[in-house]
Structure 1
Amino acid sequence: MTAPHAPTPAAELDAADSLASFRQEFHLPPGPDGRPVAYFCGNSLGLMPKAARAAVETEFDTWARLGVEGHFEAPSFWMHFHETLTEASARLVGAKPIEVVVMNNLTVNLHLLLVSFYRPTATRYKILMEGGAFPSDQYAIESQARLHGLDPADAIVELVPRPGEHTLRTEDIEATIAGLGDSLATVLIGGVNYYTGQAFDIAAITKAGHAVGAYVGFDLAHAAGNLDLRLHDWDVDFACWCTYKYLNSGPGGTSGVFVHERFAHRPDLVRLAGWWGHDASVRFQMKKGFRPMPGAAGWQLSNAQIFPMAIHRASLAIVDRAGGMPAMRRKSEQLTARLESLIRGLNLPADKLEIITPADPAQRGCQLSVLVHERGRELFDYLADQGIIADWREPNVIRLAPVPLYNSFEDVDRVGEALRQFTISNEE
């Protein structure tokens, strides 16, 4: 009989990990026993980069020394601060620089984009989203429908899994889009569903939406900094994302926007205008008549949020030094696969505990959502007592997100061992 293959020890994997040193660039909170926690909550709020404090202090110093002249003088040049984020943001989401801008917060940007890309008519007015989307998306879309005098119950079509399944099938999404046909105005789906952790086939969904003449956009709150995105090549019309989850840019941090290059020189597109989106060459002439900047920058409302953008710039620099999303994604898949193997190795029946995130790595990011049918909150609290920070979602899901920049393979094994000990204690 062949002996079962033993998994590679975590210490060996951590020693060989090319990203292991980046863990030291983040503040890891102390756990109950004094050692750093195993932090698996980056899908809710990423850890603080050690560079963040110095980045903000630099801007405080500029403000103190220069006052308003900080807009025009080195080292900050606040007038152009947002532009220093453009190249890195474009690399992050697979875009051209003209297609991205950093501004506002996520839901504000979602509304701004829907003003332009949800333009219902008497016959083409449906908007498609995934059922169980994050409430911000639900509320935004409901209010956008009402803004156009529509009944959300009629205008909004929600995608739901097949009976007995937890996630959506791409072929069902495509079939729904085709069935809606020329009644479909806009598709808006999360790149990764916050609850199940399912990563959607953005390219396939975009192609299907365009085939029936609809705009297609994505809320990338759980995808930016998590998945290797190619928004330009996938022909996505619009997208937005937050920066406080996998991009570690602080609670309530600034947001990113993508608008495809084909709309870069479309001043006729309906939008909500602000002075920072106006042609920069004549912005300070303060004249009437909005003339948008080319590209995504034309959707800006106000001047840059310097302090949150300073943190975000420091965080984006870490991503670039780590090798960008391809390198981070490789480690992410390894961490998530190991966590999945340890959970499945408990051999618990599905009526007690099941992973509802897809098993296919291409259909998930660095998140596993574990549906706990019995004593779920007790398990969550037990993990916290063991120094493992996870995320609880009602009614009975624990989300675990092994983030490649600061989680180690040893962290993953800590989770596996804690789950094993909890299982043993409940069998006795």
Structure 2
Amino acid sequence: MTTEATTPRPYQSYVYAYPHKTAYRPLPDRPPLRELWAGQSRDALSLYLHIPFCEVRCGFCNLFTRVGAPDELTGRYLDALDRQATAVRDALGDDEPVRFAAAAFGGGTPTFLTAAELERLCDIAEKRMGADLRAVPLSVETSPSTATPDRLAVLADRGTTRLSIGVQSFVDTEARAAVRPQRRADVEAALGHIRTAGVPVLNIDLIYGIDGQTPATWRTSLDAAIAWQPEELYLYPLYVRPLTGLGRLGAAADAAWDEQRLRLYRQGRDHLLEHGYEQVSMRMFRRTDAPRDLGEGPVDHACQTDGMIGLGCGARSYTPSLHYSFDYAVDMREIRTIIDAYTTTEDFSRAEVGRPITPDEARRRHLLQSVLQAEGMPAADYRDRFGTDPYEDFRAELERFAARGWLDTGAPATLLRLSPEGLAHSDALGPELFSDSVRAAMAAYEQK
């Protein structure tokens, strides 16, 4: 437990969704989806389709994905996705209008699918779920080896507004150190294909803290990315997590690595700010002249409000009272087992695994996912939604953050906003807002 005078280690947990799936548990009553969505607002839902396949698995990756898809597995997976979409759309009913305001394809690597399979994926979103992909922001993740002209042409034609490519490093030796076999020439070729496809927003992911990375090589990657003038750039700190490739190699965090990552973060932040980008969060930077109405990042990352439909065995769905999904794993054998079970499932009418969202958890979720944005959280938004004051609900936590210099003392009194140092410590600040029950559930989770 930290005191007000103590600053915790800066890299503890990347909070992209709360509660994390390691806090989910099998739902004993397996509630019908129709009951879960009864009476819920369905006029501005987010739609997320998850494709759990990659050509290789990077050493740092703990995403729900497997390498390869033998024996026509992608076709069987899309068959199951179609069945699930049909069941979910039926559960939503037609008593009230069902409208999707944003969509995303993630993974894994959605562009692992062939061009024809991507057409089918879009058809599932449109014909089964009723999402108008050409009328809403659509974000799709890709990789250097799968960003081929035929696949990109399908995505551009079907309305994709944002393509996010995981480059991680333009330095080949660093990519290999992160157990990510790729060549810079192939990365540059993929970026050229994306620009030729004409998708309005390009995002490039980079990672800092790789073994052997220096300020000079980090600058090389930053400048190489900036040369493509991406509308967005994400700078991710490297994490070594259990059951990943790097985790099995025995790599572990220490104070020296923390300091290295903080130095590289600040270098990257300052470099992007000097080159026409603005900071949106600890990780996200947007070109100041980039379009603002095409969505930003996967819908999971900045979804403070509830109302998300996730399709696929690694996707979450959110209602105000329950977050639900399927089983979760990191180990490749476990993931293969879960995917195989998903492809043979016929009945998708019930929620299988999840976590109830109490009023306290809803407050925590809103606060942490709002305050981690550089623009901060208007206190009035919180009060309007919950009828209480965030400064009273989280007095101890906010006083602790203030004592560490993590809150912006120059912000208007009506705005709860992090200081630059607070943003730099987002991965320490976020976990301190977790409830005791979520902490206990995450701690009790058996890694698999």
TM more than 0.5: no
- TM-score computed with the length of structure 1 as normaliser: 0.29
- TM-score computed with the length of structure 2 as normaliser: 0.28
